[in-house]
C-alpha cells in the first residue's frame, strides 16, 4: 500500500467542476469563432469519409483487380508494400511541406487545406471508378499522403485561432468531431457497400468531401471580403 498519501478533502475537490468549466469555455470559444466552428464541422466529414475509405479500399482492390504476378507476390505482400510506401512517403511529404511552406502565415493553412481536400475528393472518385490497377494504387497512396501531410497544417491553423487557455479543449473537440463522424456516418457507408456495392460506397466517400470543399470556399470568400475591407 502507498504510504504518506493524504487525499484532498471532498469539499476541496474541484476536478469535475474544473473539467466542466474548461469544456464549457472551449465550446463557447468555438461557437463565438465562425472559422473554428467550420473547422470542427469539416473534421466531422473527414471522419465520416476516412473510416469507410480505409476499410473498403482493400476489398475494392481484391474484388476489382488481379494483382500483378511479380516475384510470385500474393495480395497480402502487396498490401504490406503499399502500407510501407504510405508510411515512408507520408513522413517525407510532411517534412517537405514544413520546409517549403510557412503554415504559420495567415491564410496559408486555408489555401493548403482547400487544395488538399479537392485532391482527396478527386482521388477517392478516381479510385472508385478506375479500372486500372496502377492508377488505383496511386490514388490510395495520394489519399494517404495528403492526409499525412495536412495533419500538421490543421494543427497550425487551430493554433492561430485559439487562445492558449482554450487550446487543449478545442483540440479535443476537434478530435472528437472526427471520431463522431467515423462512428455515426461510417457505418452508413458500410451499409451502402452491403446493400449496393463497394464502388457505390467509395463514390459516397467522395461525395462526403463536397461539403468541406464548400465550407473552405465560403471561408476563403469571407477572408477575401475581410482583406478588401481592410484595404479601404
Question: What are the domain boundaries of the chain?
Answer: 34-223
Highest averaged pLDDT of the listed ranges 10-19, 100-109, 220-229: 100-109
Of 93 and 59, the structure prediction assigns the larger pLDDT to 59
Q: Would you tell me how many other CB atoms lie within 10 Å of the CB of residue 46?
A: 22
d(CA 182, CA 189): 10
Handedness of CA 48, 52, 91, 96 (dihedral sign): negative
**CA-CA distances (angstroms) from residue 16 to 10, 92, 166, 168?**
12, 42, 17, 16
pLDDT above 90: residue 161 = no
**Is residue 147 left, alpha or beta, with left meaning phi > 0 and alpha meaning psi from -120 to 50?**
alpha
Among 66, 49, 46, 61, residue whose Cα is nearest residue 201: 49
Phi, psi of 73 (to 5 degrees): -75, 135
pLDDT above 80: residue 22 = no
What digits encode the pLDDT tens for the residues 179-207? 999 998 889 999 999 999 999 999 999 99
d(CA 228, CA 232): 7
pLDDT above 70: residue 219 = yes
pLDDT above 60: residue 19 = no
Using the CB atoms, write b or e for 127-152: b if 16+ within 10 Å: bbebeeeeebbebbbbbbbbbbbbee
Coil, helix or strand at residue 211: helix
CA angle, 120 then 121 then 124, to 5° = 85
d(CA 154, CA 131): 33
- Quickly name the fold that domain 34-223 has: Growth Hormone; Chain: A; (1.20.1250)
Q: Would you state the pLDDT for residue 28?
A: 66
Q: Would you state the pLDDT for residue 2?
A: 46
- Neighbouring residues of 10: CB distance < 8 A, sequence distance ≥ 6: none
Q: Grid coordinates 490510395 are at which residue?
A: 140
Amino acid at each position: 500500500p502507498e504510504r504518506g498519501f493524504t487525499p484532498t478533502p471532498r469539499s476541496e475537490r474541484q476536478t469535475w467542476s474544473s473539467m466542466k468549466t474548461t469544456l464549457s469555455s472551449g465550446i463557447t470559444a468555438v461557437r463565438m469563432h465562425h472559422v473554428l466552428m467550420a473547422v470542427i464541422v469539416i473534421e466531422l466529414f473527414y471522419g465520416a469519409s476516412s473510416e469507410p475509405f480505409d476499410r473498403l479500399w482493400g476489398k475494392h482492390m481484391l474484388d476489382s483487380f488481379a494483382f500483378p504476378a511479380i516475384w510470385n507476390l500474393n495480395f497480402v505482400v502487396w498490401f504490406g508494400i503499399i502500407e510501407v510506401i504510405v508510411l515512408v512517403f507520408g513522413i517525407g511529404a510532411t517534412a517537405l511541406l514544413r520546409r517549403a511552406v510557412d503554415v504559420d502565415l495567415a491564410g496559408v493553412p486555408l489555401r493548403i487545406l482547400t487544395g488538399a481536400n479537392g485532391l482527396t475528393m478527386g482521388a477517392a472518385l478516381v479510385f472508385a471508378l478506375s479500372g486500372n490497377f496502377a492508377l488505383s494504387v496511386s490514388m490510395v497512396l495520394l489519399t494517404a499522403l495528403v492526409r499525412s501531410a495536412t495533419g500538421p497544417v490543421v494543427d497550425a491553423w487551430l493554433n492561430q485561432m485559439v487562445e492558449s487557455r482554450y487550446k487543449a479543449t478545442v483540440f479535443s473537440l476537434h478530435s472528437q468531431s472526427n471520431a463522431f463522424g467515423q462512428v455515426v456516418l461510417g457505418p452508413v457507408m458500410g451499409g451502402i457497400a452491403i446493400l449496393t456495392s463497394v464502388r457505390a460506397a467509395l463514390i459516397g466517400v467522395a461525395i462526403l468531401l463536397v461539403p468541406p470543399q464548400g465550407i473552405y470556399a465560403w471561408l476563403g470568400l469571407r477572408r477575401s471580403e475581410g482583406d478588401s475591407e481592410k484595404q479601404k
